């Protein structure tokens, strides 16, 4: 009898294994051994009828890294509309006498993240500044006896979320957002190795920020020590320090770091544009500090912000186009601009805590429970974000029922482009995989869809790995194997 029981159990297990998909069988092997054995990870993949194709630990909440951008872009397009745009207003204070504005010109930002950006969707600076200039001329203004003021005060609070790493906030991917930005609030430094032990050669190339003092405390390291340059900076003072090392065998390159004074930089460049076009501008450039005071390049607040009369506005690219770049390039800056727009639109308070409250209500508009996700920023740079593969699949399915699904699907990259450029290079039909990656130290995630031959989702999936101690290359290969099996 005991032998019969053992045989029956073995037969049942054999039948169960035979019924499992190849993807599930591979997931089972990864649980027992392989690169994810010591990691915390989970997966859920379902077909269009809701049948489970592969699953493990699907209810466990994990750090998603940039996978969170899927939620940010999807919720934003569903809430604001895929064709919505950010605005930037031009306003004036004072009086106009004989074509001279006896007052200040204000550039009033409302979150457009593309001003001065290199992206193809962004309006060129000359074209944008030309439109602003035309607005002044339409009011009969041909000279300004006052200042050009960049006003990014619509976004209150810190530029960055308080949980971001101190070293991250000086990098191009950790620069914070304000309501008026410029060049995605970054600066470019040309760096090259000097003699070993000396300061790295450093030149700021673009944009120029003449009010800043940047101290060079970097060191040229021995051959083979790599590149660990970071710019430590703050919006509290016009001071930054370049720290870290750059090896002698490194080729010269351009490094991208954070510029904490996007509004001031925008005002500086628009003033230069007007002067170059023969405008008489007697005042300097300025911005608005956190106390609501006009702050000139000497960083001495002079007077309270005025109440400018609005004379015109310009529009950003459509949200769907910004979302496409956000997901393909995994652009943190664009994602944060979308996230902070929730608070500004609903309560006119763009503090991160306020944005989260409004954002959770927008999640409910998709029919989802916001308690299933903890999201504190828009980009996923914070390790305080948590979501399970199961909830992510629920979100992705909810997006299929939304009125902006085609725009959302079009925003997702496929292997071979953006952050997925090296993923599954030889897989036939890899264009039918439309997913977003998410990665940081010890974290690698993929979530999205696998499409059928007609371009409709046939598999919805989310794979998340945390605390993997295996090399990232090996973890990526294991997840790529799961994706290729799901393609079958």
| Count of alpha carbons within 13 angstroms of residue 446, beta-carbon side | 26
Instruction: State how beta strands 143-144 and 433-440 pair.
Output: unpaired
Q: Is the dihedral of CA 343, 349, 352, 357 positive or negative?
A: negative
pLDDT in single tens digits along all 488 residues of the chain: 555 444 444 433 333 444 699 999 999 999 887 899 889 999 999 999 999 999 999 999 999 999 999 999 999 999 999 999 999 999 999 999 999 999 999 999 999 999 999 999 999 999 999 999 999 999 999 999 999 999 999 999 899 999 999 889 999 999 999 999 999 999 999 999 999 999 999 999 999 999 999 999 999 999 999 999 999 999 989 999 999 999 999 999 999 999 999 999 999 999 999 999 999 999 999 999 989 999 999 998 889 999 999 999 999 999 999 999 999 999 999 999 999 999 998 888 899 999 999 999 999 999 999 999 999 999 999 999 999 999 999 999 999 999 999 999 999 999 999 999 999 999 999 999 999 999 999 999 999 999 999 999 999 999 999 999 899 999 999 999 999 999 98
Question: Each residue of 408-442: b (16+ CB within 10 Å) or e?
Answer: bbebbbbbeebbbeebbeebeebebbbbbbbbbeb
Whole-number Å distance between alpha carbons of 420 and 434:
10
Quick one: pLDDT at residue 19? Answer: 67
State whether 378 and 458 are in the same domain: yes
Quick one: pLDDT at residue 372? Answer: 95
Quick one: pLDDT at residue 17? Answer: 43
Where residue 10 falls (left for φ over 0; alpha for ψ -120 to 50; beta otherwise) is alpha
Look at the chain and report how many structural domains it folds into: 2
Expressed as residue numbers, the domain containing 282 is 85-317
On whether the CB atoms of residues 251 and 277 are closer than 8 A, the answer is no
State whether 208 and 261 are in the same domain: yes
The CA-atom distances, in angstroms, between 437 and each of 3, 195, 381, 391, 478 are 49, 39, 13, 16, 14
State whether 407 and 331 are in the same domain: yes
CATH number at residue 483: 3.40.710.10
State whether 91 and 47 are in the same domain: no
State whether 274 and 177 are in the same domain: yes
Asked whether residue 135 is domain-assigned, the answer is yes
Whole-number Å distance between alpha carbons of 72 and 327:
10
Instruction: State how beta strands 245-247 and 219-221 pair.
Output: parallel
On whether the CB atoms of residues 299 and 310 are closer than 8 A, the answer is no
Whole-number Å distance between alpha carbons of 248 and 357:
49
State whether 253 and 359 are in the same domain: no
State whether 100 and 240 are in the same domain: yes
State whether 208 and 326 are in the same domain: no
State whether 286 and 361 are in the same domain: no
State whether 307 and 331 are in the same domain: no
Q: What are phi and psi of 233, to 5 degrees?
A: -150, 170
Quick one: pLDDT at residue 7? Answer: 43
Choose one of 290, 317, 344: the last residue of a domain: 317
State whether 26 and 170 are in the same domain: no
Quick one: pLDDT at residue 4? Answer: 45
Whole-number Å distance between alpha carbons of 462 and 64:
10
């Amino acid at each position: 009898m005991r032998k019969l029981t053992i045989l029956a159990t073995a037969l049942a297990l054999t039948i169960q294994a035979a019924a499992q998909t190849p993807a599930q069988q591979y997931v089972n092997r990864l649980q027992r051994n392989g690169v994810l054995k010591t990691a915390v990870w989970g997966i859920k993949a379902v077909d269009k009828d809701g049948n489970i194709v592969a699953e493990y630990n699907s209810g466990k909440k994990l750090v998603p890294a940039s996978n969170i951008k899927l939620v940010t872009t999807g919720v934003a397009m569903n809430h604001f509309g895929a064709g919505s745009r950010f605005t930037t207003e031009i306003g004036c204070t004072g009086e106009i006498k004989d074509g001279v504005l006896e007052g200040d010109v204000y550039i009033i930002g409302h979150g457009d993240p593309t001003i001065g950006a290199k992206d193809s969707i962004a309006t060129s600076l000359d074209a944008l500044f030309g439109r602003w200039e035309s607005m002044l001329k339409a009011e009969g203004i041909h000279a300004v006896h006052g200042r050009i003021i960049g006003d990014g005060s619509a976004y209150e609070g810190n530029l960055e979320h308080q949980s971001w790493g101190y070293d991250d906030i000086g990098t191009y991917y950790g620069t914070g957002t304000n309501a008026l930005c410029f060049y995605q609030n970054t600066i470019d430094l040309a760096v090259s190795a000097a003699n070993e032990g000396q300061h790295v050669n450093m030149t700021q190339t673009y944009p120029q920020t003449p009010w800043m003092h940047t101290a060079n405390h970097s060191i040229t390291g021995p051959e083979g020590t790599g590149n660990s340059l970071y710019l430590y900076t703050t919006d509290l003072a016009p001071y930054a320090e370049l720290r870290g090392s750059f090896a002698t065998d490194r080729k010269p390159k351009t490094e991208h770091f954070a510029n904490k004074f996007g509004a001031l930089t925008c005002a500086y460049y628009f003033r230069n544009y007007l002067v170059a076009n023969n405008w008489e501008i007697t005042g300097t450039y300025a911005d608005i500090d956190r106390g609501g005071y006009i702050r000139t390049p000497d960083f001495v607040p002079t007077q309270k912000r005025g109440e400018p009369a609005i004379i015109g506005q310009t529009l950003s690219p459509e949200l769907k186009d910004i979302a496409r770049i956000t997901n393909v390039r995994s652009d943190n800056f664009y994602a944060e601009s979308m996230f902070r727009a929730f608070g500004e639109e609903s309560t006119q308070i763009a503090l991160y805590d306020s944005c989260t409250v409004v954002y959770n209500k927008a999640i409910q508009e998709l029919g989802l429970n916001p308690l299933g996700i903890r999201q504190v920023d828009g980009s996923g740079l914070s390790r305080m974000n948590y979501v399970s593969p199961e909830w992510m699949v629920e979100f992705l399915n909810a997006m299929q029922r939304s009125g902006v699904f085609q725009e959302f699907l079009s925003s997702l990259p496929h292997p071979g482009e953006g952050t997925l450029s090296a993923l599954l290079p030889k897989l036939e039909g890899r264009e039918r995989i439309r997913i977003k990656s998410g990665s940081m130290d010890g974290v690698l995630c993929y979530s999205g869809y696998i499409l059928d031959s007609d371009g409709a989702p046939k598999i919805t999936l989310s794979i998340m790995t945390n605390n993997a101690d295996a090399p990232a290359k090996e973890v990526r290969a294991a997840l790529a194997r799961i994706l290729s099996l799901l393609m079958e």
